[in-house]
Structure 1
């Protein structure tokens, strides 16, 4: 056991073991990003587990979560600006050595994120059915997708709350603790999924384990035949709720990462203006991505359900492949924030450049592997050969442009860390709204679903070029949010309570 802990310690080091504002660039960026890769892998496991088990359940259920996932992303994206703002403020205050201000920023972020997620979840519950209908869900798919989204909407506060916990801990420089909490939550979700989806009447898990006799006995005793796609949603919400409880307990104790305090959580409207000023562009960026996904789904819905299901498989595979890019971008965001706070912008620039170079190489290699293994990858998620063929085609069209996503993510992460969330949002909107969607709309009418796949490839390359060119202008360097001369809001830190 001691040897195992030593090996884990060599891979995952906490913020107390390295300094983000001095010394080498690569080592702290690696130790900051590696736990984020694992955390995001665990988070993606939620979606992959649902995709796998619902693929065994029915093709309609698989198509239903293809509609539901972009809508979940949209609801979370509308409120994600608060978490990004909190993370950036915590990072910059930590880098500047202003611990009290970091705690206040974290406490206010938790308060307003809870309020925002409850409001968004309530609105989402009442509109999801109509929204999915407008998006073109078929008569067979619509009720399934609606049932799934109603449960997710009711549990949105738990899902978003845990995302805020991860963001605040990351801003402080602690990416290990969220990883460990996420691991426990994912294991719980994976255990619950097959039972809540299938129950005990015809559960493929028992067949896989050769335990058909036990399945019959449990069904005879309980009569539980599963809740289908609703069961998958319940498993996800329950697992996230438990993770949030653990995350809040950690932050209130303050022994790891950033600390929050009840006395700092009374809503401060002046501070809300500060969070909104930084966070709205980040929400625009996330919402732009979500709207793009939903608009693309509108185009995809013009095709048969097999294409919709294949699109869902492809986007989930991408979510796994792009984990290193997302993780390193978050690492760059934290490094940029802390180094801007410490008045060391040159280190932030070196971190972004190193991240872009490494990610381009790693994701290009991954793209080549996916291109050759596209069909076996798709076959993991469904037993429908038509869906496998279409999903494999989707993967091959996009795979060789994976490296460009790494470049774009690295530089937009640095923009966010510097507080230039509007710039990151503009790049995202240009890539998705001005390039991807119009190409998909036109090309799908000319060459069928292949036109949608082409739009992904072209926009990946264009997005990387835009991000690199914009970063070279150097306008991100004046993003110190701890500088009282910067007009972030009318109150500044003078409105922040200080220790007695």
Structure 2
């Protein structure tokens, strides 16, 4: 079988997926698999930065431990709009309302663009004081601030691509965003070591086997790199290219949902509909981001090696939790389309199936992380103190990975039904009232181990709360579709 035929058997477009009838497992798998790969590629941005900056210096590694949660926070503040757009598109598609779906997508792009510009301006001036508030050391603060200011300046491109991914997912097309992301990540990884180290003494040359004349010729250019700022420039440039391609795809309408320039004039009446769904979703996502940032207040009381270990652990979790995040997005789309089609029972079956599957898969990944904690951390650093702290972090959290899968599956179904406030409430309770207080008070007696202990406690509690709330069945009343002035 040729490569193209094999790819076609694994990745199915929306025309080949029936999300509102038939079995549950296969359409959820085909919908979620490209999301897993897209998120894996998305994580590759962060991992590439973490790897190369770990080679640069421990201070640079600690700086992105402060910067990455701040990136997540800025994007989360506006991400509710993309969630709202995805839910509305999914419900309109499930109901057979193509023109209304296109209007929802067009308005989402318009307001997301405006919102991301405001967030970028705010972020550019706020990141320095905020990172200082989190407790960054004098050596780390200017590095983290420089990185974040570049990211903030590129926020419209950073956020715009996430909107493209969300709208296409609501339509049922998860393959196109995966392909666009692939090209963007390849570009980012190629640019990272050059922009960080320059050409003189670049460790990439040794990895590629470049010696003598070749390395000398490159070094003779005089470019010495931009350090941690170079990593930010590589990320923004590659995201900008992905954003342009994504907008072009939607304008042409060749794949997934189509947007129309004539429908992108801001309709502030429609904005209220987006905000009804989007604001609670932003609260949920912002709560997750804030929890990591506030945990840094606790982590920052410990040496830089612990801060670096925390940053590595968060990056590792972002990879391990990819299946749960992807399946949650798949459940969100399936729930939205089935709610739109008037089939809430099928939506509930999809959520239960996903929760069971993710518990098994993530528990297995937790066993792997538990057994290989040291070698995993050592990929990112050769500092023995960082490796020791990171190994301890992974070993404490790994046994609770399966519960994250349960939480994500049911939260995805809440969002797809338009019950974003419910998903937000669970997130706030889990993180704000359980994880952060446990981390602070436990760390007073147990040191950094107390911080690590807060993760499994909150993971288990969050899963139990989500499961109990889902059993109440209030999500079944979640249809949010309304007539739309979708005039072409």
* TM, length-normalised to structure 2: 0.99
Deviates more, 1:207-216 or 1:343-352: 207-216
> Match of 1:86, SS?
helix
**2:35 aligns to what?**
36
What's the counterpart of residue 15 of structure 2?
16
Runs of at least 5 residues in structure 2 that lack an aligned partner in the other structure: none
Cα separation, 2, equivalents of 1:431 and 1:352: 20
Post-superposition shift, 1:209?
1.6
Cross-structure match for 1:116? 115
Q: Which runs of 4+ in 1 moved over 4 A?
A: none
Alignment partner, residue 288 of structure 1: 287
Matched with 2:3 is 4
Q: CA deviation at 1:208?
A: 1.3
**Deviation of the 1:366 alpha carbon:** 0.4
Secondary structure at the counterpart of residue 401 of structure 1:
helix
* Whole-angstrom distance in 2 between the partners of 1:193 and 1:158: 18
Inter-partner Cα distance in structure 2 for 1:212 and 1:227: 23
Per-residue deviation, 1:327:
0.1
How far 1:277 moved relative to its partner?
1.0
| SS class of match (1:200) | coil
Q: Among 477, 483, 486, which residue is 1:493 paired with?
A: 483
Instruction: Specify the alignment match of 1:248 in structure 2.
Output: 247
- Tell me how large the CA RMSD over aligned residues is: 0.7
State the match for 1:304 in structure 2: 303
Secondary structure at the aligned position of 1:84 is classed as: helix
Q: Do the aligned residues in 1 keep the contact of 2:102 with 2:486 (CA within 8 Å)?
A: no
State whether structure 2 residue 340 is matched by structure 1 residue 348: no
Cα deviations by residue, 1:406-457 (Å, 9 ceiling, x for unpaired): 0000000000000000000000001000100000010011100000000001
**Which digits, 9 at most, give the CA deviation of each residue in 1:5-51, with x for residues without a partner?**
00011111111112000111111000000000000000000000000
| Conservation of the 8 A alpha-carbon contact between 2:201 and 2:219 | no
C-alpha separation in 1, matches of 2:208 and 2:71: 33
Post-superposition offset of 1:498: 3.0
Rounded to whole Å, the distance in 2 between the matches of 1:26 and 1:497 is: 34
What is residue 219 of structure 1 aligned with on the other side? 219
Q: Which runs of 5+ in 1 are unaligned?
A: 483-491
Name the counterpart of 1:486.
none
**Cα distance in 2, alignment partners of residues 448 and 74 from structure 1:** 26
Would you say the 8 A contact 2:106–2:264 is kept in 1? yes
1:69 corresponds in structure 2 to: 68
- SS at the partner of 2:483? helix
CA distance in 1, matches of 2:35, 2:469: 26
Q: How far off its partner does 1:497 sit?
A: 3.3
Residue in structure 1 matched with residue 197 of structure 2 by the alignment:
198
Q: Distance in 2 between matches of 1:251 and 1:405?
A: 33
Q: Helix, strand or coil for the counterpart of 1:400?
A: helix
Once the two structures are superposed, the pairs formed by residues 129-140 of structure 1 within 5 Å of their partners are 129-140=128-139
Any idea what the Cα deviations from partners look like across 1:374-423, whole Å, max 9, x if unmatched? 00000000011110111010000000100000000000000000000000
